[in-house]
């Protein structure tokens, strides 16, 4: 039995979709907070287990009969790291034979500006110290998040971000989910670490060029400063903490934290990952 946490989320559902092609539905379970949202998964034969990262008792119950767990990283909650620890503790307590985690492909955790990302590596350390056999998926920034960065008016205003000429080896969630499922369906769990990235790196200038070509409308990238960007976000009503986090994320891109390229994703897909232009065509429906 393979348990996928965050089963109704973007990456969790992508993993389950592929697992259902590789194994019997009765061998796949999904951890959800709201059972009503999992009706579609239940209809496909997925075992639904209700639990919350903040509720250790519910996690203990969810782990019963499970041999392998994929911990999908939580959001930006203040207690997010403790939530991860709770899942690891429950897996260890239940005697789970393999614990996988969706981490991040970042070059140097010690120099990250966005401190939220550090919790991924703290979670990795906790998993490795637990004694449970593990698989770590260090994932690059999802290409699917680009609309959040470039904004809804990108074709009118262009792209204005403090990311300099930093480059990212973007990959689609569906490609990540497929590859993760392929690894989970494999019987091995020998403390492996995978770095899942695209096959090429792209700057936001490259994103602008691709959007221009796909839409037939001129889109330009303007590398602005952090202060100007902060003023822009303040005008949108974002709180200071969120502004600092977003600025930190983009500064890390500027500093080259996300420009790693690894063959792991293409190896486990059995084909090249979706390139930028093709991915943007789907994401922006162009």
Q: What average pLDDT score do residues 83-98 get?
A: 97
Q: What is the pLDDT of residue 247?
A: 92
Cα distances from 84 to residues 25, 131, 199, 255, 277, in angstroms, run 26, 16, 30, 28, 35
Q: What is the pLDDT of residue 156?
A: 95
Q: How confident is the model at residue 74 (pLDDT cuts 50, 70, 90)?
A: confident
Q: What is the pLDDT of residue 254?
A: 97
Q: What is the pLDDT of residue 76?
A: 77
pLDDT tens, position by position, 154-196: 999 999 999 999 999 999 999 999 999 999 999 899 999 999 9
Q: How confident is the model at residue 64 (pLDDT cuts 50, 70, 90)?
A: very high
Q: Any idea of the CA torsion for 37, 92, 121, 204, to the nearest 10 degrees?
A: -30
> Tokens for 34?
């709201």
Q: Tell me how far apart the alpha carbons of residues 39 and 50 are, in angstroms, rounded to a whole number.
A: 12
3-state secondary structure of 202: strand
pLDDT tens, position by position, 239-265: 888 888 889 999 999 999 999 999 999
DSSP code of residue 31: E
Q: What is the pLDDT of residue 62?
A: 96
Q: Tell me how far apart the alpha carbons of residues 67 and 95 are, in angstroms, rounded to a whole number.
A: 8
Percent of the chain with pLDDT over 70: 100
Q: What is the pLDDT of residue 75?
A: 76
Q: Mind giving me the DSSP string for 39-65?
A: HHHHHTTPEEEE--TT-HHHHHHHTTT
Q: What is the pLDDT of residue 78?
A: 81
Q: What is the pLDDT of residue 111?
A: 95
């Amino acid at each position: 039995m393979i348990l996928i946490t965050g089963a109704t989320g973007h990456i969790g559902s992508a993993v389950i979709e592929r697992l259902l092609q590789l194994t019997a539905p009765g061998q796949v379970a999904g951890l959800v907070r709201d059972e009503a949202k999992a009706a579609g998964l239940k209809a496909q034969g997925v075992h639904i287990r209700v639990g919350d990262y903040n509720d250790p008792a519910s996690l203990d119950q969810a782990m019963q009969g499970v041999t392998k767990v994929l911990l999908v990283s939580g959001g930006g909650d203040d207690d997010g790291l403790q939530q991860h620890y709770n899942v690891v503790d429950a897996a260890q307590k239940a005697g789970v034979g393999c614990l996988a985690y969706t981490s991040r492909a970042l070059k140097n955790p010690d120099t990250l500006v966005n401190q939220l990302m550090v919790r991924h590596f703290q979670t990795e350390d906790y998993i490795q110290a637990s004694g449970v056999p593990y698989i770590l998926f260090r994932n690059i920034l999802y290409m699917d998040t680009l609309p959040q960065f470039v904004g809804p008016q990108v074709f009118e205003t262009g792209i204005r971000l403090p990311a300099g000429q930093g480059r990212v080896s973007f990959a689609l969630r569906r490609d990540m989910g497929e590859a993760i499922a392929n690894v989970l369906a494999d019987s091995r769990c020998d403390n492996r670490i995978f770095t899942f990235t695209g096959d090429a790196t792209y700057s936001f200038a490259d994103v602008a060029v691709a959007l221009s070509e796909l839409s037939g409308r001129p889109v330009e990238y303007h590398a602005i400063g952090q202060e100007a960007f902060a003023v822009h976000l303040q005008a949108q009503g974002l709180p200071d903490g969120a502004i600092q986090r977003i600025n930190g994320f983009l500064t890390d891109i500027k500093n080259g934290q996300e420009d790693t390229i690894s063959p792991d994703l293409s190896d486990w897909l059995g084909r090249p990952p979706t390139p930028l232009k093709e991915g943007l065509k789907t994401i922006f429906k162009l």
